């Protein structure tokens, strides 16, 4: 491509006369002989918007929780042993003018539940939010139930929303007398838009003199790049990286007409994102996730398989016909050992984890074997990345 561009320009006499063509020749020659990764960039680096890697300090969701009752169950609610359910029902009826003695109530179509929700930023009264309902007692299922009006409170104890409505369950539980079949969790339900915001939780952005951007993942390089991109956009120093996670933008120095316009302008800028060299493994599921340009030092891995199988059997030995002995029970133990030959793989300098995993799969290693091998390589100093086990 560079050669075709160069020859096209040199064939044009006007270009040769009007331009410093030796300088153009040197530049295009350098471009032509540059390696591909210098022109295209590293595969581990990519452009991302600032909005995708940061959040605004003070602009966040808030967790809400409440305690209430689910009614209308088909004899799958809490039993009499869950005494607080009966007390809650009695208190609810008392507020409606019905006086009952909690000790005399036997109701199986009621369940005590906790109700949780997330209050989005800039929530206004009248907005609707989704709520999750979870059984507190020993109810078998809350399928088909209806949540009675429940106040949802924030950490400060103030009521910010009210929730009510029919539940949607993602599972079921059927059977009796020990023959029970359950799918997912029939004691957890959800009400889409079941909560209504009652209190204004919006943040007043007009009072912000400093807009603080918080990186989702701590990185000094990313913080510096964000500050540089903002300063370049405004043509002066209005942003500064305070540490590996926080970047402050001065509202007055930016000259923006309002804080929302400033935030919008900043969030739509882009930076070069450097993927961290990190490997995350989940021992419970055998999942392995790799990020960034993870490299390995020269390493050899030897993997063998030793299987020991112990089988125990109880054998009844009959006595001799000439004796008056009784049959005896004798325990026989059978031990089987299978030791498969060790298999090995060898990786050269600059190999990545993907090549290692492919090699381990080729020799028959399982996901849990691979996790143990990665941990051993990290302990030996052969893994040039952060290894996180969850």
Residue 361: inside a domain: yes
Question: Quick one: pLDDT at residue 182?
Answer: 62
pLDDT per position as a tens digit, 89-140: 888 888 888 887 766 777 788 999 999 999 999 999 999 999 999 999 888 8
Which residues in the chain come in under a pLDDT of 70? 1-45, 102-103, 171-184, 291-292, 303-325, 329-344, 347-350, 353
Question: Quick one: pLDDT at residue 275?
Answer: 76
Q: Are residues 74 and 25 in the same domain?
A: no
Q: Is the pTM of this model over 0.85?
A: no
Q: Are residues 145 and 248 in the same domain?
A: no
Nearest to 303 by CA among 383, 368, 354: 368
Question: Quick one: pLDDT at residue 24?
Answer: 46
Q: Are residues 265 and 190 in the same domain?
A: no
**Which tokens in the block code for residue 173?**
């539980």
Domain of residue 74 covers 62-172+182-197
Residue 48: inside a domain: no
Residue 56: inside a domain: no
Query: What 3-state DSSP class applies to 307?
Result: strand
Question: Quick one: pLDDT at residue 231?
Answer: 95
Residue 49: inside a domain: no
Query: Look-up: residue for tokens 């305070």?
Result: 242
Q: Do residues 8 and 24 touch, judged by C-beta distance below 8 A?
A: no
Residue 55: inside a domain: no
User: Which of 218, 242, 274 is the last residue in one of the domains?
Assistant: 274
Tell me the C-alpha to C-alpha distance, in Å, between residue 282 and each of 217, 240, 290, 292, 372: 20, 37, 12, 18, 11
What does the alpha-carbon distance between residue 292 and residue 272 come to, in Å, rounded to a whole number? 13
Q: Are residues 262 and 295 in the same domain?
A: no
Q: Are residues 188 and 211 in the same domain?
A: no
* Tally of structural domains, the chain: 4
Residue 51: inside a domain: no
User: Which of 274, 300, 319 is the last residue in one of the domains?
Assistant: 274
Q: Are residues 292 and 380 in the same domain?
A: yes
Q: Are residues 189 and 247 in the same domain?
A: no
Give bridge partners of residue 147 from the DSSP assignment.
70, 165
Give bridge partners of residue 163 from the DSSP assignment.
150, 195
Neighbours of 169 (CB within 10 A): 19
The Cβ-side half-sphere exposure at 111, using a 13 Å CA radius, reads 31
Residue 52: inside a domain: no
What does the alpha-carbon distance between residue 371 and residue 292 come to, in Å, rounded to a whole number? 18
Residue 50: inside a domain: no
Q: Do residues 90 and 102 touch, judged by C-beta distance below 8 A?
A: yes
Q: Look at the chain and count its residues.
A: 390
**What is the widest separation between alpha-carbon atoms in the chain?**
126
Q: Are residues 188 and 241 in the same domain?
A: no
Q: Are residues 81 and 193 in the same domain?
A: yes
Q: Are residues 221 and 126 in the same domain?
A: no
Neighbours of 144 (CB within 10 A): 15
Q: Are residues 108 and 162 in the same domain?
A: yes
Question: Quick one: pLDDT at residue 17?
Answer: 42
Q: Are residues 186 and 83 in the same domain?
A: yes
Q: What residues have CB less than 8 Å from 255, skipping those under 6 apart?
A: 234
User: Which of 221, 256, 274 is the last residue in one of the domains?
Assistant: 274
Q: Do residues 277 and 291 touch, judged by C-beta distance below 8 A?
A: yes
């Amino acid at each position: 491509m560079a050669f075709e561009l160069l020859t096209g320009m040199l064939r044009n006499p006007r270009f040769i006369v009007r331009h410093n063509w030796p300088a153009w020749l040197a530049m295009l020659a350098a471009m032509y002989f540059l390696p591909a990764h210098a022109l295209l960039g590293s595969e581990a680096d990519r452009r991302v918007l600032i909005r995708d890697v940061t959040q605004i300090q003070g602009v966040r969701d808030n967790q809400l929780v409440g305690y209430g009752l689910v009614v209308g169950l088909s004899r799958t609610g809490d039993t009499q042993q869950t005494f607080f359910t009966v007390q809650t029902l009695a208190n609810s009826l008392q507020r409606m003018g019905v006086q009952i003695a909690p000790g005399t109530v036997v109701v199986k179509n009621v369940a005590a539940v906790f109700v949780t929700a997330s209050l989005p930023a800039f929530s206004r009264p009248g907005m609707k939010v989704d709520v999750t309902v979870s059984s507190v007692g020993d109810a078998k299922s809350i399928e088909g139930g209806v949540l009675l009006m429940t106040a949802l409170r924030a950490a400060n104890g103030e009521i910010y929303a009210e929730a009510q409505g029919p539940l949607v369950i993602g599972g079921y539980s059927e059977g009796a007398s020990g023959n029970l079949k359950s799918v997912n969790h029939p004691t957890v339900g959800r009400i889409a838009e079941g909560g209504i915001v009652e209190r204004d939780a919006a943040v007043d952005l007009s009072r912000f003199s400093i807009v603080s951007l918080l990186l989702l993942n701590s990185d000094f390089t990313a913080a510096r790049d964000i500050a540089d991109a903002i300063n370049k956009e405004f043509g002066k120093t209005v942003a500064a990286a305070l540490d590996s996670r926080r970047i402050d933008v001065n509202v007055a120095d930016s000259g923006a007409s309002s804080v929302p316009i400033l935030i919008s302008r900043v969030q739509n800028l882009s930076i070069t994102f450097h993927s961290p060299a990190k490997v995350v493994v989940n021992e419970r599921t055998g999942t392995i996730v790799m990020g960034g340009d993870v490299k390995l030092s020269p390493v050899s891995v030897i993997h063998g398989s030793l299987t020991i199988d112990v089988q125990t059997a109880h054998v009844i030995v009959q006595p001799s016909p000439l004796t008056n002995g009784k049959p005896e029970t004798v325990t026989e133990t059978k031990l089987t050992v299978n030791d498969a030959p060790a298999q090995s793989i060898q990786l050269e300098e600059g190999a990545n984890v993907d090549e290692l995993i492919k090699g381990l799969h080729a020799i028959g290693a399982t996901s849990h074997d691979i996790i143990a091998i990665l941990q051993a390589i990290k302990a030996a100093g052969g893994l040039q990345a952060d290894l996180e086990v969850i």
